[in-house]
Amino acid sequence: MIGWLLRRLGQIIPTLFLLSIMIFGLQQLMPGDPALILAGEERGDPVVLAQIRAELLLDQPIWAQYLAWIGRVLQGDFGFSWRIRLPVSQLILEKLPVTLQLGTMAFIIAVVIGVPMGILSAIKRDTAADWAANGIALAGISTPNFWLGIMFILLFSVELGWLPPSGYVPLTEDFWLSISTTIMPAFVLGSGIAGVLMRHTRAAMLTAMSQDYVRTARAKGLSEKVVVLKHAFRNALIPVVTLGAIEFGRLLSGAVLTEQIFTIPGFGKLVVDAVFNRDYPVVQGVVLATALIFVGLSLIADLLYMAVNPRLRQA
| pLDDT value for 5 | 66
Mean pLDDT confidence for 162-189: 85
> Mean pLDDT for the chain?
79
Residue 310 has pLDDT above 70, yes or no: no
Residue 312 has pLDDT above 70, yes or no: no
Residue 307 has pLDDT above 70, yes or no: no
| pLDDT value for 4 | 63
Residue 188 has pLDDT above 60, yes or no: yes
| pLDDT value for 260 | 77
Whether this prediction's pTM lies above 0.85 is answered by: no
| pLDDT value for 271 | 79
Mean pLDDT confidence for 254-282: 77
| pLDDT value for 31 | 63
| pLDDT value for 68 | 82
Residue 254 has pLDDT above 60, yes or no: no
Which of 217 and 34 is assigned the larger pLDDT?
217
Query: Cα angle vertex 94, ends 92, 98, to 5°?
Result: 100
| pLDDT value for 305 | 67
| pLDDT value for 169 | 83
**pLDDT band at 196, cuts 50/70/90?**
confident
**pLDDT band at 45, cuts 50/70/90?**
low
Residue 246 has pLDDT above 80, yes or no: no
- CA dist 162 → 145, 184, 190, 199 (Å): 20, 11, 20, 32
| pLDDT value for 223 | 79
**Domains of the chain, first to last:** 2-74 (no CATH), 88-314 (1.10.3720.10)
In this structure, are residues 197 and 271 in contact, taking their beta carbons and an 8 Å threshold? no
Least confident among 139-148, 194-203, 236-245: 236-245
